[in-house]
Structure 1
Amino acid sequence: MATCRNGQNLRDYRSFRFAITTVIPYYRLMDNRFDPAKDLANKKKHKLSLAFGDRIFEDDNHLILPTIRVEDEEDRYKVVGVVGEKLFTGVFVWRDDLPRFISVRRSNKGEERAYHSAC
């Protein structure tokens, strides 16, 4: 069983197939870790830059949820964390040991439940 940063056991949350937490250093945006066209589309749809995703990792209790894209079975991850008293979710893939964000948005109800029930 995975554990939270505070050492407590992570409770299983059925809406997600797996739920893990991990200690990931906070990375400032270095180089170009996202597609500029994707960033523009995210700004239009969610009113957030993909660079905002780095701030989600600042939450000491951020939660990382593995997901798989159905089309090509690509391993993706969701990071859920608090920024300014609101929950946000970033969808990303690992590239060269850094998160490459695909989408950043406000968390939905299921992600909120997973975050609050995990730690």
Structure 2
Amino acid sequence: MTVKRCRITGFRIERTAAKRDRSTIGHRVETMQVIGTFIANALHDSLARVMRGFAAEHGLRPASQPISRPPRKVFDTGRIDHSKSQLPIISEAEARAVGRRKTLLHFGQDPDQ
């Protein structure tokens, strides 16, 4: 539809539709590329800023920095008794009974019934 039609007291006057400025149509692809590049750079910058903040909060180092040795421990732990660090061995029936008891207690029921 390139023509607008309007009636004025019985006469029919035709006039052309308002034309869009077509000077940018030839540069549409380049404009979209520039906008895409701008958005990609903005996203990259914001992501880098977030990651720097995350690394600073969690004590991480950037990949560009050299690896440093962790600080040496200055306290003495003494002898470690490995017999205390072993889990007790229980039967399957005992494990089921303990699990059933904890489940009943969790739901507010009497486990001794």
Q: TM-score, normalised by structure 2?
A: 0.19
Higher strand share: 1
**Structure with greater contact order relative to length (CA < 8 Å, sep ≥ 6):** 1
**Bigger Cα Rg:** 2
Q: TM-score, normalised by structure 1?
A: 0.18
Higher helix share: 2
